[in-house]
Chain A
Amino acid sequence: MSALRAEEETETEETEDLESFRRRARAFITANLAPKTIDEMRQDYSVGDEEAELAEIAHERDLQRMIFDAGLAGICFPRAYGGQGLTPAHQMVLNEEIVGRDFPWRIQVPTFVPCAAIILEFGTEEQKQRYLPPILRGEELWMQFLSEPSGGSDVAAALTTAVRDGDQWVLNGSKIWTTGAWWSDWGLCLARTNWDVPKHRGLTVFMLPIHQPNVEVHRIEMLNGSREFCQEFLTDVVVPDSDRIGEVDDGWTVGTRWMFHERMLFNSPYASHPVGVTHGSMDATSVFKVAREAGLLDDTATQEMVGEARMLELISDAVGKRINESISAGKLSDQAAAIVRLFKGSSQERIRTLGFEVAGSAGAAWSGEGPTTRAAINYLIRQGGSIGGGTLEMARNVVAERVLGMPRERRLDKDVPFRDVPRSRSGSG
């Protein structure tokens, strides 16, 4: 595990003990990071207000620089690249200490995880020296150029193509679902370099600057009004071979770890995340507030819906803990994480439906901002959480095939050149 690698490299030096690290972190945080509530943290700038969002990003870059100068950036990154060379336990201490404080959380994912983690794991010495320190200083923000319009779950079926031209590569294609690409600096890009081998064996990973004439960034408006996601069009983008990461045609080795880091998200030792904070889901308290606003707390049918929302929330927590413990105890394979994905995704769908249902006709049209507004918008984008980060259908396949051991679906893209694999008729979908 690369998380351990950071520890090994610092063995020769004295590692700061956890308590003095905590004191140091707390002193910095108390003096420099303002108190901030969870609701303020959840404030969504991606709905409409561009200037506010850019100001927030600039603020986060500044915060990250302060954290870097204080010797608290990149806890598990080696010192040689601007990190602290400390352990996941130190990162956990930091996660505890930043609770209730202003913090650059937008930078954590995907810049630190998975992008910086992948550079650390697969980058050459020169690449790590070049790219990791600016990331840790908050100067360069990264995005994942991974998904494509031609296919979401089937990531390895990338159509974006890189063709070699001497000591450089020329990239053409389109990437999608990048969060905030319009204010980011670099993209980690999975591209096809060989069409004459099966799909997993013809991929390569590149690093490229987003702000250049040959990359067009288009912002996508989502059903809840958010414009955080982007699509990029790459037209003859030139990338020097020195910005290739990993071996040519061996991009799936990188891709596998890439998706592992992506799944880890805030559980990764390479990102900071205040303990106990979740971002932006519809919860049972919201459903209760909708019921209160509707004056329906004494209505038994409404009570049952509020109770159901809370029930699903409690059980989502419990099932997450249980599956983790079962995996640790060796009672279930690590593929069982898909059970948690499936249960939480389905529950979140149901909770959003309940919130909207409780709102009654007020959910159809309203005035002013309130719990009901949120309930209606959340219902509209209900399926978003069951699609992003892997669809529930993929999770169901994993549970049936990898956990219960049922026969795998027949695959038509195995052992044939990718060129001959049937594809969608159009490039979208």
Chain B
Amino acid sequence: MLINPTEEQEFFRATTERFLVEHAPPDALRRLRDDADGFDRDYWRRGAELGWTSLLVDEAHGGGSISGAGLVDLSLVAYEFGHHAAPGPLTATNVVASALSDGGSDGEQAEVLAGLLSGEAIATWCAPELGARPDTWRTAVEIERAGDALVLRGTVRPVEHAGQAEHFLVTAREGAGLTQVLVPAGASGITVEALETVDLTRRFGAVTFDGVRVGADAVVGAPGEASSDVGRQLRRAVTMLNAEAVGAMQAAFDMTVEWSFDRYSFGRPLASYQALKHRFADMMSWLQAGHAISDSACAAAQDDEPNADELGSAAKAFIGRYGGELIQDCVQLHGGIGVTFDHDLHLYLRRLTVNRSVAGTPREHLRRIAGIVEAREGEAA
């Protein structure tokens, strides 16, 4: 969360915060547990009107940022999403919208993008898994050419909101390179299997492409050369997931600090026990570290700085691990009430738990950092 946002950024953030307080209170989240989609389409359209989907899209394509730094602006929305465990395909839709905007977006892709901007449609990314270095990827989908057509085969899982999306951005291997294509969710040969997860409102699916044929106009960016585009998409996804997770950490921490002052045992508040005070101090240091690295990595990703991958991976690994420890400790300090569905604490634990394991696990990101260190030391030698 920015220390010194501009007035416009602060107004923007506060608007989203107010909207979420009104439209995504904890009881509403609990009710959405049994909803197949996990979010309401009208809620999403109204969020899109607030700017949730346009910040990474070029003005020429109908988007625009608040401050000139769209990813930084978006991180404020993502933080509020985490702070309220809010529903909606924020990461998925923004990654695809930004990829379409960067890819030039003409013809049919322009129409898809317009739908994402207005909130009428949603899209999601069938992403590859991380390789050992920032420029290597493990893909589940292969593309073969059949005349002018591209034929997709493979299964990607887990894909955020796969069952709700109208469009898939698919990153696939084509020969020695990577190609990205935009595929309608209803295309022949696609099946989506709904998966179970712990978040109350986020949905995932496994998407199988069994000989799905698309035309050359479905390609996003340069065919066979999408590696750096994929890197940028991952940085954006990681930035949003990190900001969300930090929002969840802050909410859980604040709730637990308040509890420690209010809750008495043996005639004194929990906050007066040194054993617990020291744990709060550790949690405070992890929380501030989470804010710090999330914002540093976001700033680097905003401008595609040379250290953006390293900072992004450091943030993802740290926030995943220490954020998990922080919220679990919050549960522990609440005692029995902390492991009940009636209490709100688990809403944040659920959000952080899922974010931790998508777009690269902490362990995968640590290995990626090691790859970056090795490359740097190899150059220095």
Contacts and interface: CB of A to CB of B under 8 A. Distances in A.
Determine chain A's interface SS by DSSP, over half rule: helix
Given A307-B366, A310-B369, A321-B292, A339 B285 contact: yes
Contact of B280 (A300, A329, A404): A404
B317 A311 contact: yes
Contacts of B305: none
Contacts, number: 141
Interface of A: 284-285, 288-289, 292, 297, 300, 302-308, 310-312, 314-315, 318-319, 321-323, 325-326, 329, 331, 336, 338-339, 342-343, 346, 393, 395-401, 403-404, 406-407, 409
A342 B370 contact: no
Interface of B: 3-4, 132, 257, 260-261, 269, 271-272, 274, 277-278, 280-282, 284-286, 288-289, 291-293, 295-296, 310-311, 313-314, 317-318, 363, 365-374, 377
B86 to A, nearest CB: 24
Contacts of B274: 397, 409
Nearest to B132: A303
Nearest to A284: B373
A310 B307 CA distance: 13
B317 A307 contact: yes
Given A310-B369, A404-B257, A396 B277 contact: yes
Contacts of A288: 370, 373-374, 377
Given A329-B4, A406-B271, A300 B367 contact: yes
B284 A406 contact: no
User: Which A-B residue pairs are the 10 nearest by beta carbons?
Assistant: A307-B366, A400-B277, A322-B292, A307-B369, A399-B281, A396-B281, A318-B292, A303-B370, A306-B370, A307-B370
Instruction: Find the residue from B257, B285, B372 having the highest chain A CB count within 10 A.
Output: B285
A339 B284 contact: yes
A292 B4 CA distance: 42
Contacts of A305: 366
A315 to B, nearest CB: 5
Contacts of A339: 284-285, 288
A85 to B, nearest CB: 34
Contacts of B271: 400, 404, 406-407
Contact of A396 (B269, B278, B365, B377): B278
B30 to A, nearest CB: 30
A303 B285 contact: no
Given A311-B314, A404-B257, A322 B288 contact: yes
Contacts of B317: 307-308, 311
A395 B281 contact: yes
Contacts of A319: 285, 288-289, 292-293
Contacts of B284: 339, 399-400, 403-404
A221 B377 CA distance: 35
Nearest to B269: A407
B314 to A, nearest CB: 4
A302 B373 CA distance: 13
Contacts of B296: 314, 318, 321
A385 to B, nearest CB: 15
Given A318-B296, A323-B288, A325-B3, A311 B278 contact: no
A401 B261 CA distance: 12
Nearest to B322: A315
A311 B277 contact: no
Most B Cβ at <10 Å: residue of A288, A342, A406 = A406
Contact of A311 (B3, B257, B369, B371): B369
Nearest to B274: A409
Contacts of B369: 306-307, 310-311
Contact of B295 (A284, A306, A322): A322
A397 B295 contact: no
A288 B260 CA distance: 42
A336 B284 CA distance: 10
A95 to B, nearest CB: 24
Contacts of B310: 310, 314
Contacts of A323: 288, 292
A95 B167 CA distance: 56
Contact of B291 (A284, A307, A322): A322
A304 B366 contact: yes
B324 to A, nearest CB: 15
B368 to A, nearest CB: 7
Contacts of B377: 285, 288-289, 292
